[in-house]
Structure 1
Amino acid sequence: MTTNRFLDGEYAPVRAELTEHALPVTGTLPDWLDGRYLRNGPNPIADVDPDTYNWFTGDGMVHGVRLSGGDALWYRNRWVDSPATERRLNRPAPDSAGRAFLHGLGANTNVIGFQGHTLALVEAGLPCAELSEELDTLGVWDFDGTVRSGYTAHPLEDPATGELHSVSYHFGLGNKVRYSVIGVDGRERRRVDITVGGSPMMHAFSLTESTVVIYDLPVTFDVETAASSAVPRRLRPIAELAMSAVVGRVPMPHLLSERLPRNRAGSLPYSWDPDYRPRVGLMPREGGDADVVWIDVDPCFVYHPMNAHEENGAVVIDLAVHDRTFDRDRTGPIDGGHRMERWTLDPLRRTCRREQLWDAAVEFPRVDDRFVGRAHDCGWVVGDEGGGLFGSLLARMGGRLGEPVVRRFGDGVFAGEFTFVPRSSDAAQGDGAVIGLVTDMANESTRLAVLDAQTLEDIAYVDLPQRVPAGFHGNWLPTASS
């Protein structure tokens, strides 16, 4: 019998949506923590084939904990509604308004707050969703009808302007990716299509005060996988020829891009391409396609930058770097080593200097979001000293080279991504708490950990009523002041 690590252990899905009030708290929750901690991630609503399942294709489920006045008021978990929830839960799917769902997939990657809205996000041209305060799906979110071709899992909010920046990809765009800016009115105010080398996966991007950073790296749309999943065997050669003629050259017609690929769970149509030219692009924020400066880099892949800033005419980025991904192992992002590096990109010399910041296998880097695009003094990562994505390790890394502050939770304990919450809006950088989910597999339990952001010592824990599967990204959404 074939096994799949992303369906077992810390990744094993839960099958129930719960609502529990008055959660047990160990320690003392700071009274300045007034809001919701939300975390999104894949959680298949029904059994899937372990031979084909890819972690990125699980149905989205958002888990949330409401904190206020030193109490943990509630825990909720809800699937993000999609055709899959409509079939299984008899709950209406949101109107996709002409946008394709991948195998019924609901937005499964990130969850953010923007201008009073709670948004569940996903990438690759798939629909994002708006959620209620209680995490019920309200409908597809398209920024008041101004973003109709899908969005991204990793937008960045400029702390100076409050605008939301993104770089989006979708195989139907051909050899383009799309930079967009959402204004504080919630509508797209700027859009630039950027020419890249083919049809790459572009999970995230970076932003400085004046520059957009585009990662054009060698994970690309896999025509063979898409065709084998989307059409009958006898028609696959024709489908491969048709997609090869379109993908990476010109935008795919809208109706066709809706129909392809309708993949089985796990048949993710992206894979490592050793022949693809890896490079990073630097574009002025108010520039266009012709203004991008491209800099070649060694083959690698970047899912998650920590932060970027400008320094002496260069762009300096701290980021988690994978040697490769989706090469031999197509079940998830675990194919090859990964570590934190610093890249210094010189646009005049068109060079990239890479420095290893730490040799530990760490990922999911986060920074004090008030300093996005600016020089940062600290950031937080999680990892596994055995080389996996998740383990018992949480670390605070300085903005300059130096020894990290490390917290280890113990054997059989898995720490998910931690996010920083400032003590107040005007607190010094890094003055506050980091919050994240910690799961102890010995008793199949998960707690919300609230730790001192500098020392990583315990402040408080909230016991949750069920184990939360290892997932992707979470954020703190503070309660809006009246």
Structure 2
Amino acid sequence: MTTPAKEPFRGALSPVTEEVTAFDLPVTGTLPPELTGLFVRNGPNPLVPDEPRNHLFRGEGMVHGVRLRDGRAEWYRNRWVRSAAVSRALGERRRRGAAAARADISPNTHVVGHAGRILALIESGFRPYELSEELETYGACDFDGSLPAGFTAHPKLDPETGELHAVAHATRFPFVQHLVVSPSGLVTSVVNVPAPHRPVMHDFGLTRRYVVLYDLPVVNSLAAAAAGEPMVYDWDDSRPARIGLLPRGGTEVRWFEIEPCWVFHTLNAYDDGDRVVVDVIRYPRMFDGLRLDGNSLPTLDRWVVDTVGGKVTETRLDDRPQEFPGVSPDRVSRPHRYGYAATVPDLHDYFGPHGDVLGADGTGPVADDTLLKHDFTTGSTEVRSFRRGHYTAEPVFVPAAAARGEDDGWLLTYVYDPERGASDLVVLSAEDFTGAPVANVHLPGRVPLGFHGSWIPDQG
């Protein structure tokens, strides 16, 4: 095992060094008054960028947020998530529930709203951290004592029941854990799926009937964890790849073999009679020898699981390299017509062997300026490109309150503007995907490329 590069955060991923609060943000265009709430995004923003042990997946989490109300952009804030180590480094008191030693992680992967809480998330069995509406850290969250261990970075909200589903894994777990959090914010169901080989399940699928598990050749490496490696995932050629269907409310998983691959993210999944349809971003290989790239490009693929015949049909839907997929939150676990994603560069140009980012500035290979809108009914894809040097983050769909169709709503994303040297919150019409932005909220600084975020609407 080799030592990670000393500067994994460069180019579009270069961290910002200050926490900023700005009010009454300038807006070009017109913000829809219906967009009343908080747009938040999480990502790694290391306090010490040149720390030799830095890794893209392990930088301290920083949440960026813009508050919209009544057609105005009231404020922008960016805040580090205060784990014990972050609080100590900033000279602050330790927050409640903050863990110590190796379990002390500043969640950097996602941020969601549920049951009146704002939660910063990371995978691998760590607890979420709860944030205030102003993005200050309250402390670690265990859902009022009902969470048995850790949580996941990719929970899925059932739009009909209001339940939040999650799948957690960890190096120390000889199982994968499915959790259900009630609309009131209590864990009401815990199912441990035996997995002594300790597979990594970064994401999963959810349908009306099933929790869809991905048992792929990437495993939690006990040897890497014991050696203190920053990356503990490894591709295991001896492991087959399979999809598991766990009935909601059940405990027994039915497994179906597929071709070896890796999946970071699910676009969506749904039931179709005796079949289960799962749309994913698929990599042929990943974490080869603890490396991030794995010599593979991500494509949009569809898996159709025939629960009667016991077979899985695998189909390529779009071969453009892409990531950060999503659908309308109203379509999660239901059939969808539209899906959204951001294109990504060739990972050979993007990452070095240990997650170190290649390229010296935001206009190099680490930056990408294109969003995609897939129409799965017509089989067509619209391409939305920003100008060269503008890099864009994950698009988040917000449906209109009285939506006339599945794509009646807005896409929200952060886009870096090199002419200003700062980022904008860009609001696009999902129906008029390639048209002029509905609004650009001009932020006072740069939002580095990061991972995932959410629209958290005001309640009532």
Structure-2-length-normalised TM-score: 0.91
| Residue 329 of structure 1: how far off its partner (Å) | 6.6
Partner of 1:400: 377
Change (3 A) 1:417 1:101: farther
Partner of 1:239: none
Change (3 A) 1:177 1:348: same
Structure 1 position 339 matched with structure 2 position 279 = no
Change (3 A) 1:446 1:199: same
| Residue 170 of structure 1: how far off its partner (Å) | 1.2
Structure 1 position 69 matched with structure 2 position 48 = no
- Matches of 1:335 and 1:73 in 2, distance apart? 44
| Residue 62 of structure 1: how far off its partner (Å) | 0.3
| Residue 312 of structure 1: how far off its partner (Å) | 2.7
Structure 1 position 302 matched with structure 2 position 274 = no
Partner of 1:468: 447
Say whether the 8 Å CA contact 1:13–1:44 is kept in structure 2: yes
| Structure with the larger helix share | 1
SS in 1 for 2:380: coil
- Residue by residue, what CA displacement relative to the aligned partner does 1:457-477 show, whole Å, maximum 9, x if unpaired? 211101111111110101101
The equivalent position to 1:370 in structure 2, one of 317, 330, 334, is 330
Length, aligned pairs only: 439
- Matches of 1:333 and 1:182 in 2, distance apart? 34
Change (3 A) 1:145 1:48: farther
Say whether the 8 Å CA contact 1:157–1:164 is kept in structure 2: yes
Query: Counterparts in 2 of 1:215-294, with a 5 A limit?
Result: 215-229=214-228, 267-288=230-251, 291-294=252-255
Deviates more, 1:218-227 or 1:164-173: 218-227
Partner of 2:278: 317
Say whether the 8 Å CA contact 2:400–2:408 is kept in structure 1: yes
Say whether the 8 Å CA contact 2:87–2:95 is kept in structure 1: no
| Structure 1: segments with no counterpart, 5+ residues | 230-262
SS in 2 for 1:451: strand
Change (3 A) 1:402 1:386: same
- Matches of 1:215 and 1:223 in 2, distance apart? 20
SS in 1 for 2:227: helix
Partner of 1:171: 171
Amino acid at match of 1:326: F
SS in 2 for 1:172: coil
Change (3 A) 1:339 1:134: same
- Matches of 2:367 and 2:290 in 1, distance apart? 17
SS in 2 for 1:94: coil
The equivalent position to 1:326 in structure 2, one of 277, 287, 291, is 287
- Matches of 1:396 and 1:6 in 2, distance apart? 31
Say whether the 8 Å CA contact 2:125–2:168 is kept in structure 1: yes
- Matches of 1:95 and 1:32 in 2, distance apart? 35
- Matches of 2:83 and 2:202 in 1, distance apart? 22
Partner of 1:30: 32
Partner of 1:79: 80
Say whether the 8 Å CA contact 1:329–1:335 is kept in structure 2: no
Say whether the 8 Å CA contact 2:216–2:240 is kept in structure 1: yes
| Residue 270 of structure 1: how far off its partner (Å) | 1.2
Amino acid at match of 2:88: R
Partner of 1:259: none
SS in 2 for 1:226: helix
Say whether the 8 Å CA contact 1:5–1:11 is kept in structure 2: no
| Residue 204 of structure 1: how far off its partner (Å) | 0.9
Query: Counterparts in 2 of 1:30-109, with a 5 A limit?
Result: 30-50=32-52, 52-96=53-97, 102=102, 104-109=104-109
- Matches of 1:360 and 1:390 in 2, distance apart? 16
Change (3 A) 1:416 1:5: farther
Partner of 1:200: 199
| Residue 403 of structure 1: how far off its partner (Å) | 1.8
- Matches of 2:377 and 2:262 in 1, distance apart? 23
SS in 1 for 2:105: coil
Deviates more, 1:206-215 or 1:451-460: 451-460
Say whether the 8 Å CA contact 1:167–1:205 is kept in structure 2: yes
Say whether the 8 Å CA contact 2:297–2:346 is kept in structure 1: no
Change (3 A) 1:317 1:5: farther
Query: Counterparts in 2 of 1:138-157, with a 5 A limit?
Result: 138-157=138-157
Say whether the 8 Å CA contact 2:26–2:442 is kept in structure 1: yes
- Residue by residue, what CA displacement relative to the aligned partner does 1:54-107 show, whole Å, maximum 9, x if unpaired? 21101011000011111111000000001222221112233337x566474211
Query: Counterparts in 2 of 1:382-397, with a 5 A limit?
Result: 382-384=342-344, 386=346, 391-397=368-374
- Matches of 1:386 and 1:109 in 2, distance apart? 22
- Matches of 1:104 and 1:141 in 2, distance apart? 13
| Residue 328 of structure 1: how far off its partner (Å) | 5.3
Identity %: 38
Change (3 A) 1:418 1:368: same
| Residue 49 of structure 1: how far off its partner (Å) | 3.2
Q: CA RMSD in A?
A: 2.0
| Residue 390 of structure 1: how far off its partner (Å) | 5.5
Structure 1 position 428 matched with structure 2 position 405 = yes
SS in 2 for 1:57: coil
- Matches of 1:393 and 1:101 in 2, distance apart? 40
Say whether the 8 Å CA contact 1:42–1:57 is kept in structure 2: yes
Structure-1-length-normalised TM-score: 0.87
SS in 2 for 1:468: coil
- Matches of 2:420 and 2:285 in 1, distance apart? 34
- Residue by residue, what CA displacement relative to the aligned partner does 1:107-159 show, whole Å, maximum 9, x if unpaired? 11111111111111111111211100100001111111111311000111111
| Residue 454 of structure 1: how far off its partner (Å) | 2.2
